[in-house]
Structure 1
């Protein structure tokens, strides 16, 4: 099932990314006066306020703007993507040095790809014994309804006269049979007593049910060093499906936190080198995170294609990550192979630490 919140987030991110991008100077027809400020126009855009000289009023152009805003579908994408994939160092260096009109900005690329990544993760295949939350809710409602039928049939049996008793017993038996059938469909629920009390019980291989059971019975020790946070998490883990969904929502909503968390670690690698600013490191981080988001999407697609493709993707991906970091460092900062190699090694460790900080922030924000 597709996560519609993720789809909406991806569309919103695309529109925001389109809004922060500047025109490339290749749209519209030439007019002599700007319809906004009235200044004389000698090109396709007003030199005074920047508005396009041609102001359209057709539905076709409105659709074109929407497509461009959401998909960011223009020539700069096809100039940016190949460099991001195969020559990330050159792309980072050119943007930092001011050659920007031909490429999509790192912030716009990051916003769009990271939200599309989370939309793609909603297609990620689950384990055979898992079920969609909506199906679980529906099955639970059906189970409650059948349990009520059993209770009503038993009450009718208690009030039945001797002549009506055989028919009442048959109704109770039929209601219990229907209840048992629904219980098998639900999988990890059962009726504890003949009345309507229902409890969840873990089954072999159902890690979510086991997690919920441990959270309810006090058998879950998180040891996070924050007692208040641990209590909140344990309470939320009593319903793992809802907890995981909320964490996913928090993860993509606050994914921008990866940028300020990562920049100081990159800056540490160049403390004694002059000529590099935090802006340069920010551009490096944004393009790098964009590539990682695209890599995750590629792995998800490979998992959908089949076992062989999935295994190949999981085998290749761990080598692609350090290789891309190495070439981006080497090209963006003009490093020798040795300088780029040892910085790549430390950057991998810094990434693991930054992801840990980000995960802690998400846990805190997701349980706030």
Structure 2
């Protein structure tokens, strides 16, 4: 497109394919071919770091983390950006390929039975907590869709708590080693990015593989963690195994606590309607 030798962005006189004042490209083509060329350039040049990072994450995770910590970062995607991208792909894939649960209306006898079970929930030293749980669970029987929707909204925010928890666990496990919290945070982000890739693969293959074969992909996680720890921290096989056991236990405990927090938030924000009088009667007559 002819622009008369003037930059359309700042008005400076052009003396080449780029503006010397603002840096904008002189070519302002509005053709479909131009968009296709830009797409090709994006995939082959701008995203070359993505393929390099993914290749290292899958086949040499320890070296990938070690290179970043040693300052060789030009060919990598920053760990935090990598984690956010893989997390976005995971949630997006799950939203596209997973089916929304269907909740049928409960029969009166089933509701009464559920009410009796809920009515038995009691925290001896926290009666207010008992009342809160009973009320929210009874409301959840009427509004299961609201609870599920609130869970989908909060799970992304809850997941963002995993990197700092992971890094703090590593800090404790390597307390006698000369590694900073930043080092552990980079390791955690790389490790969790790989986990997101595995979970995404599970979602994509759940419809192709049997119900047993798809969860087998989870076996990749401990294998990658072992290779990652050994390569990134430069420790031996025995030292790696000794740290893997408490690390896995700590991560499982953290995931359990975050799941409980997610359940609380889902009940709190997914049930806003007042309980019918019949349900309140069931809650009180426990």
Q: Secondary structure at the match of 1:122?
A: helix
Structure 1 residue 280 corresponds to structure 2 residue 171: no
Q: Could you report, residue by residue, the CA deviation over 1:60-105 in whole angstroms, capped at 9, with x for unpaired residues?
A: 569958x969xx9610111011110111111111111111110111
Question: Structure 1 residues 237, 321: CA separation in 2 closer, same or farther (over 3 Å shift)?
Answer: same
2:26 and 2:132 map into 1 onto residues whose CA distance is 54
Structure 1 residue 302 corresponds to structure 2 residue 202: no
Structure 1 residue 343 corresponds to structure 2 residue 234: no
1:104 and 1:89 map into 2 onto residues whose CA distance is 15
Question: Structure 1 residues 346, 132: CA separation in 2 closer, same or farther (over 3 Å shift)?
Answer: closer
- Residue matched to 1:257: 161
Structure 1 residue 311 corresponds to structure 2 residue 209: no
1:352 and 1:318 map into 2 onto residues whose CA distance is 14
Q: Secondary structure at the match of 1:83?
A: helix
1:222 and 1:104 map into 2 onto residues whose CA distance is 49
Question: Structure 1 residues 362, 94: CA separation in 2 closer, same or farther (over 3 Å shift)?
Answer: same
Instruction: Please tell me whether Structure 1 or Structure 2 has the larger radius of gyration of its CA atoms.
Output: 1
Deviation at 1:111, TM superposition (A): 0.7
2:46 and 2:214 map into 1 onto residues whose CA distance is 27
- Residue matched to 1:17: none
- Residue matched to 1:323: 223
Question: Structure 1 residues 53, 332: CA separation in 2 closer, same or farther (over 3 Å shift)?
Answer: farther
Deviation at 1:313, TM superposition (A): 2.4
Deviation at 1:299, TM superposition (A): 0.9
What is the RMSD computed on CA atoms of the aligned residues? Answer: 3.3
Structure 1 residue 352 corresponds to structure 2 residue 255: no
8 Å CA contact retained: 1:261, 1:358: no
8 Å CA contact retained: 1:125, 1:303: no
- Residue matched to 2:54: 81
- Residue matched to 1:94: 67
Aligned structure 1 segments of 4 or more residues deviating by more than 6 angstroms: none
1:223 and 1:116 map into 2 onto residues whose CA distance is 41
Question: Structure 1 residues 231, 116: CA separation in 2 closer, same or farther (over 3 Å shift)?
Answer: farther
8 Å CA contact retained: 1:88, 1:324: yes
TM-score (norm 1): 0.57
8 Å CA contact retained: 1:229, 1:364: no
- Residue matched to 2:280: none
Higher relative contact order (CA 8 A, sep 6+): 2
TM-score (norm 2): 0.72
2:29 and 2:121 map into 1 onto residues whose CA distance is 59
- Residue matched to 1:156: none
Structure 1 unaligned regions, length at least 5:
1-28, 36-51, 137-187, 190-199, 204-209
- Residue matched to 1:269: 173
1:68 and 1:228 map into 2 onto residues whose CA distance is 56
1:213 and 1:327 map into 2 onto residues whose CA distance is 53
2:139 and 2:170 map into 1 onto residues whose CA distance is 35
Structure 1 residue 219 corresponds to structure 2 residue 117: yes
